[in-house]
């Protein structure tokens, strides 16, 4: 039996403030997410962020919540079921969340009882970042450290470069291009602090937050920023976009330290001032539509865009539970 463990970031169990606060505490107390010494992280998360941010986030989650619950979770459940069907006998496919439920330890305990020959772990993050895929790696290793019998282990670090990935977004974009003549295509990725990128630069001199990400090389191929820029180039190439008609930006910054730039909100205002009035937006760092895509990019940035004088803002949907995404995952499993 081969085990396939699908892992996404996580979501509150319900949109109520207590559940959102619980989720935020677990998520933000991860040392790979907020990489400051534990005592300061504890005070920051439990004394400031969770108490004050939870009520505000709960309101947004209530807006996002559907009859089946959190889209991030039920899309994952759909994908897990479809992948199980496609792989057939001989595979045990399970979905877990890095934070909250279904929790990694419980799901991996069930898989361990199956006496697997091999375990394939696929974090649902197209690009590698220490705060996402790296955190999944760390937790999986921590849980497996207590196992007496270890199956062969394979972990997919990233999959943004898979041809199905770029083609999916290009095909979805084409549906909107039929009706609107867009004058710009904006690719917005979740930001991380610049210090995360510096800490991940093993060479200590590759990352200069400038032209170092214009191509993927042996020195920067594991860099989140470089992978985001390459994702944009791959999708743009699949769409046949001309240079100057598309760009990369980063959203969702927190705190005063510099995060990856350019910032999406500032980029939107700049684009409108340059006469870009019809924009097609993408969020290729997320496989499922969630708070950061549906609400932040789809609604908040649209409002910002229109207030600045923009005319038409459209967000391209994420992979969600599409057949294309399931086919991509099947290929990853078969080649792991």
The predicted-structure confidence for 102-112, as pLDDT tens digits, reads as follows: 999 999 999 99
How does pLDDT run across 8-29, given as a tens digit for each residue?
Answer: 999 999 999 999 999 999 999 9
Q: Residue 83's pLDDT is what?
A: 98
Nearest Cα residue to 3 out of 82, 101, 105, 113: 113
Instruction: Flag the least confident range among 158-167, 182-191, 205-214, 222-231.
Output: 205-214
292 labelled ligand-binding:
yes
Read off the pLDDT band of 245 (50, 70, 90).
Answer: very high
pLDDT at 230: 98
- Extended beta strands in 21-163, E state: 91-99, 118-123, 152-155
Is 85 among the annotated ligand-binding positions?
Answer: no
For residue 215, the model assigns a pLDDT of: 92
Q: How much is the average pLDDT of 229-251?
A: 97
E strands, the chain, in order: 2-10, 91-99, 118-123, 152-155, 184-190, 246-251, 278-282, 312-315
Q: Is the pLDDT of residue 187 over 80?
A: yes
Averaged pLDDT score across all residues of the chain: 95
């Amino acid at each position: 039996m081969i085990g396939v463990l699908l892992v996404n970031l996580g979501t509150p169990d319900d949109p109520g403030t207590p559940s959102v606060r619980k989720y935020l505490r677990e998520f933000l107390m991860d040392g790979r997410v907020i990489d400051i010494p534990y005592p300061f992280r504890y005070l920051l998360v439990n004394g400031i962020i969770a108490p004050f941010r939870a009520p505000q986030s709960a309101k947004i989650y209530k807006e996002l919540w559907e009859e089946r619950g959190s889209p991030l979770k039920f899309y994952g459940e759909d994908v897990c079921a479809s992948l199980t069907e496609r792989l057939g006998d001989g595979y045990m496919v399970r979905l877990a969340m890095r934070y909250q439920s279904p929790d990694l330890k419980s799901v991996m305990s069930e898989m361990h009882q199956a006496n697997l020959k091999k375990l394939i772990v696929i974090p649902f993050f197209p690009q590698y970042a220490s705060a996402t895929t790296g955190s999944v790696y760390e937790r999986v290793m921590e849980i497996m450290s207590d196992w007496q019998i270890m199956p062969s282990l394979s972990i997919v670090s990233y999959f943004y470069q898979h041809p199905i990935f770029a083609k999916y977004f290009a095909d979805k974009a084409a549906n909107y291009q039929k009706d609107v003549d867009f004058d710009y295509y904006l690719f917005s990725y979740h930001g991380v602090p610049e210090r995360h990128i510096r800490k991940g630069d093993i060479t200590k001199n590759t990352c200069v937050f400038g032209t170092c990400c214009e191509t993927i090389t042996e020195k920067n191929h594991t860099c989140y920023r470089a992978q985001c820029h390459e994702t944009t180039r791959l999708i743009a190439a699949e769409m046949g976009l001309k240079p100057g008609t598309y760009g990369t930006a980063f959203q969702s910054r927190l705190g005063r330290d510099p995060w990856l730039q350019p910032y999406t909100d500032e980029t939107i205002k700049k684009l409108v001032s340059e006469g870009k009035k019809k924009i097609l937006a993408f969020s290729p760092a997320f496989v499922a539509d969630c708070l950061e895509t549906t609400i932040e990019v789809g609604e908040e940035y649209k409002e910002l865009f229109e207030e600045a004088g923009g005319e038409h803002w459209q967000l391209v949907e994420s992979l969600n539970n599409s057949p294309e995404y399931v086919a991509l995952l099947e290929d990853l499993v078969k080649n792991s």
